[in-house]
Amino acid sequence: MKRSTFVTVLAWTFIVLGAFSTLMSIVQGVLIFFLFPFEQAQAAAIAAYRQHGVPRIVLSLLEYVHWLFVLFVIVSVATLVAAIGLLIRREWGRVLFIALMVFGIAWNFVVVGTVWYLTSSFFDELPKPGAAVPHFEAMWAAMLGFNLFVVIGFTIFFGWIVKRLASQEIRREFS
């Protein structure tokens, strides 16, 4: 059976990305778990929450940041494993890779929604120093717009990968 170039290139690309992501997430985890002063950061966040009404989600993110790093390591390792499974044309690798792409789409929208939620009331809280605020708001709107553009781009890209991996032609390679 002829092997498609698409699957081979996709697999090698994500083997490299998965290996790099796994290495970086482990290094970041070590730095965060052993060097970051969580107790001080949590105390400062709680004080800011009480004094300035910081959104509760900020405290939750800080409280569960360890689990976010664990999740990132798991997703990185799973990506590496799925890419290797794709390369050697295992059905479990194809299915796992599709699941990771769907997870990536969902994760992007969760992140954009969280950022939108966190910033929606931010400008109401700012003191109005004059001419700088409209420029800051325009800059922030441009950044959110760019993030949304990137999320839509990745959603289309990941969706295209899912569609290709679910196609009859590709599925035959894995049977």
Q: Give the pLDDT of residue 81.
A: 98
Within 10 angstroms of residue 4's Cβ, the number of other Cβ atoms is 16
The tokens describing 112, both together, are 């954009």
Please give the full DSSP string across 5-55, using - where no structure is assigned.
HHHHHHHHHHHHHHHHHHHHHHHHHHHHHHHS-HHHHHHHHHHHHHHH---
pTM of the model: 0.81
Q: Give the pLDDT of residue 132.
A: 59
Dist. CA 121–CA 58, nearest whole Å: 13
Residue 6's nearest CA partner among 100, 113, 89, 115 is 89
pLDDT per residue over 23-70, tens digit each?
Answer: 999 998 888 778 877 778 777 777 777 777 666 777 777 777 778 888
Q: Give the pLDDT of residue 129.
A: 55
On whether the CB atoms of residues 17 and 9 are closer than 8 A, the answer is no
Burial 59-92 (b: 16+ CB within 10 A, else e): eeeeeebeeebeebbebbbbbbbbbbbbbebeee
What integer is the mean pLDDT of 93-111?
Answer: 95
Show the domain range for 99.
Answer: 5-173
Dist. CA 58–CA 9, nearest whole Å: 39
pLDDT per residue over 111-162, tens digit each?
Answer: 888 887 777 666 556 555 555 566 777 787 888 889 899 999 999 999 999 9
Number of domains in the chain: 1
What integer is the mean pLDDT of 12-22?
Answer: 97
Question: Is the pLDDT reported for residue 168 higher than 90?
Answer: yes
Residue predicted with more confidence, 103 or 122: 103
